[in-house]
Amino acid sequence: MRLKGKRILVVGASSGLGRESGHALAREGARVVFAARRTDRIEAAAAAAGGGAFALPCDVRDEASCRAAVAAAIAGLGGLDALVYAPGISTFGPIEEIDASDWQDCFATNVIGLSLILNAAIAELEANRGKVVVFSSISIDDSPPRPKQATYLVTKVALERLIQAWQGEHRLVGFTSIANGDTLTEFGFGQDAAKLAPIVQRWFELDYMYGRMMDPAAVAEQVVNALASPETIRRIAITPCYAEALAVPADAQSTDAAAQGRKAVETIRGASRD
Ligand SMILES: NC(=O)c1ccc[n+]([C@@H]2O[C@H](COP(=O)([O-])OP(=O)(O)OC[C@H]3O[C@@H](n4cnc5c(N)ncnc54)[C@H](OP(=O)(O)O)[C@@H]3O)[C@@H](O)[C@H]2O)c1
């Protein structure tokens, strides 16, 4: 058990990488708080994690909600050793169709929310020589950037600079960004599948998606590694393994880009947020 007794708040823990990370941390002996907006989801996630885990409602676009969630996490855990920040949203479509409210929502969720949570948590994290892990995205390393996801690219670049700014002013805390590749989560759920399919197909054609999507457990393992290390892991970049995608027999799964795109979108089609 590499994180025995560590007190960890995971924000954005109702699905996908946040929930998976919370469970991986609990398996390593941590006491985990699962925070997000969908309370039924975080309560179920905390119950499944065991080990004294509990759930707290939090909307990172709301400053008072961030303050309340951090205060309740610290009170319930008796302190705080680490924070994992997973909230992330995106628009999917031409840059000229993104309106002010889309930009504001993406910045509020992907960038400003982290700072609001840290405003409330940093004193306690400093007192405990704590750690912070934040989900960024490998897509910001791609040049030219993948098309039709401008809000996401711009906010994730801003997010990585924000993490560096926090690190620069708070040396007693170790900050890690995880720049992960495409992973099978609920990201993009609720989007219009007919609009999304050609966009994702195009990303496969341009070879941005490494031929397949990752299992969230492989990414969550890196959260454990970052938090268990005695050193500060500044940045982890993790992508699907090319060889594994290429090893799939052509008759079982076409390596044709359009087919791969359709397969990825198939996991999203028809799904809706509850
Ligand atoms: N999946 C990928 O391919 C991929 C690739 C690269 C990076 N990432 C990054 O990984 C992170 C996790 O995403 P995911 O793939 O696991 O997607 P996901 O399954 O959609 O999970 C997103 C989480 O963020 C939470 N969230 C969204 N808005 C929130 C808000 N206003 N306040 C509090 N929580 C909020 C959601 O909870 P509620 O809706 O219940 O609040 C949910 O728990 C994101 O930052 C994403 O950008 C994902």
Average pLDDT, the chain: 91
Residue of minimum CA distance from atom 7 in ligand 1 = 137
Q: Please compute the mean of the pLDDT values over residues 28-49 and round it to a whole number.
A: 98
d(CA 191, CA 213): 18
In short, whether 18's Cβ falls inside 6 Å of ligand 1 is yes
Cβ(51)–Cβ(28) below 8 Å:
no
Q: Please compute the mean of the pLDDT values over residues 143-157 and round it to a whole number.
A: 96
Domain boundaries, the chain: 7-266
How do residues 88-100 score in pLDDT, each as one tens digit?
Answer: 999 999 999 999 9
d(CA 34, CA 39): 9
d(CA 230, CA 102): 39
Cα of 86 to ligand 1 centre, how many Å? 5
User: In sequence order, which residues have a C-beta less than 8 Å from that of residue 116 and are 6 or more positions away?
Assistant: 60, 63, 66, 67
Residue entry with tokens 């509020």:
108
Q: Is the pLDDT of residue 269 over 90?
A: no
Say what percent of the chain tops pLDDT 90.
Answer: 80
Residue of minimum CA distance from atom 5 in ligand 1 = 182
Q: Helices 257-266 and 193-205: crossing angle, nearest 10°?
A: 140
> Which ranges in the chain belong to alpha helices (H)?
16-27, 39-49, 63-77, 100-107, 113-127, 150-169, 193-205, 216-228, 242-247, 257-266
d(CA 83, CA 92): 29
First to last CA, the chain: 34
Instruction: Tell me which CATH code domain 7-266 carries.
Output: 3.40.50.720
How do residues 167-215 score in pLDDT, each as one tens digit?
Answer: 999 999 999 999 999 999 999 998 988 899 899 989 988 888 887 889 9
Give the pLDDT score at 92.
Answer: 96
Burial of 171 (0-12, 13-18, 19+ CB in 10 A): exposed
User: In sequence order, which residues have a C-beta less than 8 Å from that of residue 167 and are 6 or more positions away?
Assistant: 173, 174, 175, 234
The whole-model pTM stands at: 0.94
Q: Is the pLDDT of residue 64 over 90?
A: yes
| Confidence category of residue 242, pLDDT binned at 50, 70, 90 | confident
| Confidence category of residue 264, pLDDT binned at 50, 70, 90 | low
Cβ(98)–Cβ(107) below 8 Å:
no
In short, whether 88's Cβ falls inside 6 Å of ligand 1 is yes
How do residues 104-143 score in pLDDT, each as one tens digit?
Answer: 999 999 999 999 999 999 999 999 999 999 999 999 999 9
Cβ(201)–Cβ(159) below 8 Å:
no
| Confidence category of residue 6, pLDDT binned at 50, 70, 90 | very high
What count of Cα atoms within 13 Å lies in the side-chain half-sphere of residue 184? 13
Residue of minimum CA distance from atom 25 in ligand 1 = 12
Q: Tokens for 111, please give them.
A: 């960038």
Cα of 255 to ligand 1 centre, how many Å? 28
Burial of 45 (0-12, 13-18, 19+ CB in 10 A): buried
